[in-house]
Structure 1
Amino acid sequence: MKYRRVGNSGLKVSEIGLGSWLTYGTAAEQEAADACIRKAFECGINFFDTANAYNRGAGEEAMGAALKPYSRSNYVLSTKVFFPMGEGPNDRGLSRKHIMEQCEASLKRLGMDYIDIYYCHRYDDQTPTDETLRAIDDLITQGKIIYGGVSEWSAAQIKEAAGISKRLNLHPLVSNQPIYNMFERYIEDEVLKVSEEEGIGQIVFSPLAQGILTGKYKPRTQIPQESRAANDNVNGVINSYLKENVLECVQDLEGIAQELDISLAQLSLAWVLRKQGISSALIGASRPEQIEENVKAVQVNLQADVLEKIEKTLKKVEGFAPLR
């Protein structure tokens, strides 16, 4: 495993991190979580990500239970706040009230004393940004979180937040968590540049495009019965990727991976990690073998001719934007 700093902070995270998967709290799913986290540690992964909104807290509970056997100083954990956690008008967003209450609730669900990175899960246009940042700063001062971050904020919003933090002498944000993969590249336009200027590192999610970039879905064939796309409870955005031109592009990318004697997933993760400013790529896993395969991506160095070939292949789906 290799490790990178998160932005300008001294915090180091594994280039591959492990994110929460959907969980409903069954014994079988907890066993899968335990097995995956055990394999992650064996492979050198030290970064784990969840959120309070993942099944209204069940994701945090599963992650906390799976991490319980390990020394707290040996891993970095992030969780998030923003999405509704109740039916009341103050049970959502980034108000000081909601942030403070949800941080306490997350700590209880995780069974931990502190959170390493606490993310504002989306931008809240109903709350002044300085109110949000002061609340995050106070949680840092109280020792309940160590660093603050944002997720899926625009370049302008990140710039605004950085300016407020400097003006008010608050702890700076250290991380942004955006989606980033071969098909969704909006952060390349402005977010990466602004974040680098402000010392903010990217910890990206969905680097395998909801599993599309593993090659399990083929053009002109039926969706595998055991796959996420076949499950109406969790397929979500993935179905918008299931277009013939996208799947044909994936097939071409798989050919490039075969020429390099690596898997398509490893090619896709190495492609994400090629970018300066990316601190870590978050994978999801339901089986330990998936982790073992994916972490090999950190050893893949894509040469200029391969990157050029990938770009030519991706031009076939230029302008593609999944429905959200």
Structure 2
Amino acid sequence: MTHTNKTQKPKIALGTWSWGSGAAGGDQVFGNHLTIEDLQPVVDTAMAKGFNLWDTAAVYGEGSSETILGELLKKYDRSSYLLSTKFTPQIATGPEETAMENMLAGSFKRLNTDYIDIYWIHNPFDVEKWTPYLIPLIQSGKIKSVGVSNHNLSQIKRVTEILGQAGVKLAALQNHYSLLYRSSEEAGILEYCLENDIDFYAYMVLEQGVLTGKYSVDNPLPEGSGRAATYNANLPKLAALIDALAQLGNKYNAKVADIATSWAINKGAVPIVGVTNEKYIASEERAQNIKLSEQEIAELERLATLTNVDTKGSWENSMLS
């Protein structure tokens, strides 16, 4: 079956990791407890403003993130939005040769669709083993483009070779990239993607809310959540960077989060921003239109380096190896 999707890719993708519940879900990782009723206005406002690229994964909340997203998008024509979801090797079941197609079928059911616009291999569990299984999925039209996430430069190049032998292009890369975590840039990955027409998607660009200005020593992240355990102890070290983001926000009539997001756009990335309230859509509108100067970018990066805070996730391998 062929699908014609003329939807333009927005400058910012909206992430749904913080939706859903259970293992790797929004309640455990973020301390969120969001319902369909909470999130419908988020989707409706985003779609009305042209933010129609939705990023999720089969592993987020054990499929509950996909289920919620699928339900919220039901009333929209499928050609009016873009779906991005992932094959996570660590949760693959059954025979190897059908594991990826089976996980994709589960995503189809939960998302109420029969094709995915960007399908990712979530982690480089075994590049040689899993990459070839993307090829028949794109040849059949079940997926429109392919991406890889959390891959280092040598792995990205190998994926490109494997796909290229079948005439398939690696379209996208999705890595952790923020002011506080620039290893993909330091390792030459961002430059490689820009030079080879590979869209670079930056997840955790706001570091799970830490770069929004909402949290401080006096107002820490929700206790008992995974992000509180990661970030709360480091909040004192971030004060100077947050202040600088706030000052630029004043200059550009924007907020701290807008500047942190626009930094990634100015670097050539497509930020994936998790949105949990409709009021935050205005932030994405502002962020996509801010043009920072080279001096402003350099100063933000200098202050970020001085924090000496390491935000590498427990699931991540170093990009520099």
Q: Would you say same fold, with TM above 0.5?
A: yes
SS in 1 for 2:14: strand
Distance 1:19 1:46 in 2: 11
SS in 1 for 2:144: strand
Q: Is the 8 A contact 1:204 1:281 kept in 2?
A: yes
Q: Residue 156 of structure 2 aligns with which residue?
A: 158
Do the aligned residues in 2 keep the contact of 1:155 with 1:195 (CA within 8 Å)? no
- Deviation, 1:33, is 2.1
Residue 97, structure 1, aligned to residue 98, structure 2? yes
**Number of corresponding residues:** 298
Instruction: Calculate the aligned-residue CA RMSD, in Å.
Output: 2.6
Amino acid aligned to 2:119: Y
Aligned to 1:269: 261
Residue in structure 2 matched with residue 4 of structure 1 by the alignment: none
Q: 2:301 aligns with which of 303, 306, 311?
A: 311
SS state at 1:149 partner: strand
**Do the aligned residues in 2 keep the contact of 1:240 with 1:323 (CA within 8 Å)?**
no
Stretch deviating more after TM superposition (46-55 or 249-258): 249-258
User: Which residue is 2:250 aligned to?
Assistant: 258
Match of 1:209 in 2: 207
* Cα distance change, pair 83–230 in 1 and its aligned pair in 2 (3 A): farther
Indicate conservation of the 8 Å contact 2:19/2:68, yes or no. Answer: no
Native 8 Å contact 1:207 1:281 kept in 2: yes
TM-score by length of 1: 0.84
> Does 2:16 match 1:15?
no
Quote the residue 1:286 is aligned against.
276
TM, length-normalised to structure 2: 0.84
Deviation string for 1:140-199 (max 9, x for gaps)? Answer: 122211111100100110011112222x22411100111111101111121112223443
Structure 2: gaps (5+ residues) = 1-5, 28-32, 315-321
Identity %: 25
Separation in structure 2 between the aligned mates of residue 233 and residue 319 of structure 1, nearest angstrom:
19
Amino acid across the alignment from 1:80: K
- In 1, distance between residues paired with 2:295 and 2:240? 21
C-alpha displacement at 1:83, in angstroms?
Answer: 5.0
Contact 1:213 1:250 in 2 (8 A): yes
Match of 1:194 among 186, 192, 195: 192
2:317 corresponds to which residue? none
Partner of 2:285: 295
Matched position secondary structure for 1:123: coil
Q: Is 2:124 the counterpart of 1:132?
A: no
Structure 1: which 5+ residue stretches go unaligned? Answer: 1-9, 224-228
> Is 1:172 paired with 2:169?
yes
Q: Within 2, Cα distance between the matches of 1:307 and 1:198?
A: 24
How far residue 256 of structure 1 moved from its aligned partner, in angstroms, is 3.1
